[in-house]
Structure formats: C-alpha cells, structure tokens
Structure 1
Amino acid sequence: MEEKTAVAALAALAQPLRLRTFRALVGAGPDGMTPGTLCSMLDVASSSLSFHLKELVHAGMVTQERDGRNLIYRASLERMSELMDYLAAHCCLGAGCEEITVPNCKNC
C-alpha cells in the first residue's frame, strides 16, 4: 500500500459516524448491509449516511453493489488488511514482535 492510499483510508475512518458505519459493515461480513438497515442500526438520517458512505467508498474502505433495487455496502476486508499491514510494516524496527495478548480476552 502506498502512503497516499493509507492516508486516504485513515482520513475516511477519522470521523465518528464513518468509523461506526465501517465497523457495522465489518460485523455484517460478506452479506453486507443496505443503507436502510444501516440507518436504522446507527440511528442516522439517510442523507447523512449517504454522504459518509460515499467517502468510505471513495477511500476504498467500502464497496457498493446493486442488487435489484437495493444497494448493498460491504466493508473491504482486503483493504482493511492492507492498511493494517502498512501500519505494522516497521514494527519493532523490523526485528519482529512478540505476540500481543489482551488480558482477559478469550479470543485473543
């Protein structure tokens, strides 16, 4: 991932509603969600959500697909993984890191 792409992705996520939207789409998995479902879940107006979804799509963090009369939005897990890899690329000056565990985390 290039720096410019990473900055665009981070900028898109650096807004509370966009971050909540992205996290909701990550949780939805490959099925994705319609804007109506997202509006209900996030308690946000459709016009506001539309603006924020456009920003996430533009940054490549979310994809949009038409399914009949509906639009389906999905988190781009590939882009998310690329961003995480980019952020961790120079961790510990390239010497490798010990695995990080979170206390009291059953799935970590």
Structure 2
Amino acid sequence: MEITHAITSFAALSQDTRLKAFRLLVSHEPKGLAAGEIARQLSVPHNTMSTHLAVLARAGWVISERQSRQIIYRASLSHMQSVIEFLLQDCCAGNAELCAALVDNLNGCPTDQLDNDTDNQRNS
C-alpha cells in the first residue's frame, strides 16, 4: 500500500458516522447489511448514509452487492488487513517480540474470512 492510498483510507474513517458504519459492518460479517438498515441502526437519514457509504467504498473500506432491490454493504476485511500491514510494516525495527502482544490480539480473527472477502472483491 502506498502512503497516498493509506492517507485516503484514514481520511474516510476520520468522520464519526463513517467510522461507526464501518465498525457496524465489521460486526455483521460475513452477511453484511442493507444500506437502509445501516442508516436505521445509526439514526442517520438514508441519503446522508448513502453519501458516507460511497466515501467508504471509494477508500476501499466497504464493498457492495445488489440483491434484488437492496444494496448490501460489507466491510472489506482484506482492505483492513492491508491497512494494518501498512501500519506494522516497520514495526519494532524487526524485533518481533516487541509486537507479539499486538499480533496475538490480531490473531483472534479467522483468516478464512479474509480470504473469502478477497475472492468476493475479485469477482465484483
């Protein structure tokens, strides 16, 4: 990941509603949520939520899929992984033991979900 892409990603999450929407979507993986349901749960007008979701999509944080008349949004776990890897790229100057606690906390996520997310993005 290039630094300009990382900055765009961080900028997209640096707004209250967008960060809450992304966290909500992470908690609803792998099924995702309809745009209207995201708006309802966050008490945000539908048109405002659509704008926020578009910003998140352009930055790579969410992916969408049309299902009949609804658009289902999912968190892009592969993008989240890329951002985390970018942040940890030079972690602890190569002293892995210094980052062990952080890495252990990240290991709580199933890696097969990240693989499924990557496959879904390729097929979109």
* Aligned residue pair count: 102
Unaligned runs of 5+ residues in structure 2 are: 103-107, 109-124
- The Cα RMSD (Å) is 1.3
TM superposition score normalised by structure 1: 0.88
The Cα of 1:98 is off from its aligned counterpart by 4.1
Moved beyond 4 Å, runs of 4+: none
Partner of 1:99: 100
Letter in 2 for 1:92: C
Identity over aligned pairs, percent: 38
Distance 1:13 1:98 in 2: 24
The Cα of 1:3 is off from its aligned counterpart by 1.1
Distance 1:36 1:54 in 2: 14
SS of 2:101's equivalent?
coil
Which of the two has greater helix per residue?
2
Unaligned runs of 5+ residues in structure 1 are: 102-106
Partner of 2:69: 69
Letter in 1 for 2:32: G
TM superposition score normalised by structure 2: 0.77
Q: Which structure carries more relative contact order (alpha carbon 8 Å, separation 6+)?
A: 1
